Amino acid sequence: MLSVRDLGVAFGAVQPLSGVSFAVGKGETLGIVGESGSGKSLTAMSVMGLLPLSGGRITGGKVEFDGQDLTKLSERAYRKLRGGRIGLITQNPMTSLDPLKKIGPQVDDVAKLHMGLSEQAARARTEEILGTLRIPEPALICERYPHQMSGGMKQRIVIAMALAADPDVLIADEPTTALDVTVQAQIIRLLDDLVKERDLALVLITHDMSVVAQTCDKVVVMYAGRAVEHGPVETIFDRPRHPYTQALIACIPRGLDEATRLTGIEGTVPTVVNYPSGCPFHPRCPRAEAICATDPPGFSVEGDSAAACHFAEVADAQPA
């Protein structure tokens, strides 16, 4: 449904994103996982065609959606697509909603704009969508203002807006980061159900490997503006081949399994202005050799998965 090939992005002279590839099909959930500054949100912005707003531009690669290359799309055509066939859910529901407008009209507007529905038809659709999101008494909620609702409820409204125009692809950028764990579980379950019921393609951007493990079919691991490993979620967790993926998995506490001691990754996450040369992970990598500092590694493919590492021979499956 949506495929990205070798995407690169530049802001002036800095190149915060390069060589990012992934593909996601109907009824499939793809996770993009990485730490702060890894470029995962920027990837979402590029796909949504929102880069020009912040002064960035795509320098290379393709973003294919339903057979057409989005990088060549005009702004006018993009506007139709955005919020229409591609829905976006952002991290902070507080800033995605207009505080001065009631919930009903905010959701109605999307359907009116993208589907050309009348006032009444749009409202009927809004109430139906709110119902499928398990929001009790949709008609009543439509008359409320955002500040009268809890964080989890607001996030549901944002999801409703993303769904209003019946999209094929949903991009969710850290949709649960601002929420409490019990509410996170509700939202994750909701997204899971939506993917199955509506045959959606979901791109889930997150920093949380546990969320990926729970929900995704495929995963792209990003580090310092590059995709370092991608593949089916079971393979990535069972036999991670990139040292960064291995380290990232070893960083997650497993409460019940006390035998494994948490091992952090030495050093700090690089920022855009000081991305290392060669393999971006080499300064923190336990396996790095001279070549890693000079040559950016290509992808070593094995089965469905690929790792960008000079030494991507099958490593010991580290996680339990």
Partner 1 sequence: MPNLLEVRDLSKRFTSAGGPFRKARSMHAVNGVSFDLPEGRVIGVVGESGCGKSTLARLILRLIEPSGGAVNFDGDNLLAKSPSQMRKLRARMQMVFQDPYSAIDPRYTLTRAVSEPFEVQNVTPKKPMAEEVADLLEMVGLNPGLAASYPHQISGGQKQRVGIARALALRPSLLVLDEPTASLDVSVQAQIIGLLEDLRTDLGLTYLFISHDLSLVKYFCDEILVMYLGRVVEALPETAAPARHPYTRTLMESTFEPDPKKRRLIAPLEGEVPSPFDLPPGCAFADRCPNASALCRTETPVLSTETGHAVACHHPI
Which residues make up the interface to partner 1 (CB under 8 A)? 35-36, 134, 150-153, 180-186, 188-189, 192, 207-211, 213-214, 233-234, 237, 247-256, 258, 261-266, 268-269, 319-320
What's the min distance (Å) between Cβ of 24 and partner 1? 17
* Residue closer to partner 1, measured from CB, 131 or 151: 151
What's the min distance (Å) between Cβ of 200 and partner 1? 18
Give the list of residues 6+ apart from residue 236 with CB closer than 8 angstroms, or none.
219, 221, 229, 230, 245, 305
* Residue closer to partner 1, measured from CB, 76 or 261: 261
Gap between the Cα atoms of 204 and 89, Å rounded: 9
What's the min distance (Å) between Cβ of 196 and partner 1? 12
Question: Is residue 133 a contact partner of residue 198, using CB atoms and an 8 Å limit?
Answer: no
* Residue closer to partner 1, measured from CB, 84 or 152: 152
Gap between the Cα atoms of 227 and 220, Å rounded: 6
What's the min distance (Å) between Cβ of 56 and partner 1? 23
* Residue closer to partner 1, measured from CB, 105 or 232: 232
Q: Which two tokens stand for residue 252?
A: 């997650």
Rg (CA), the chain: 20
DSSP states of 302-315 as a string?
A: ETTEEEE-TT-SPP
Gap between the Cα atoms of 232 and 20, Å rounded: 16
Question: Is residue 97 a contact partner of residue 149, using CB atoms and an 8 Å limit?
Answer: no
What's the min distance (Å) between Cβ of 251 and partner 1? 4
* Residue closer to partner 1, measured from CB, 71 or 245: 245
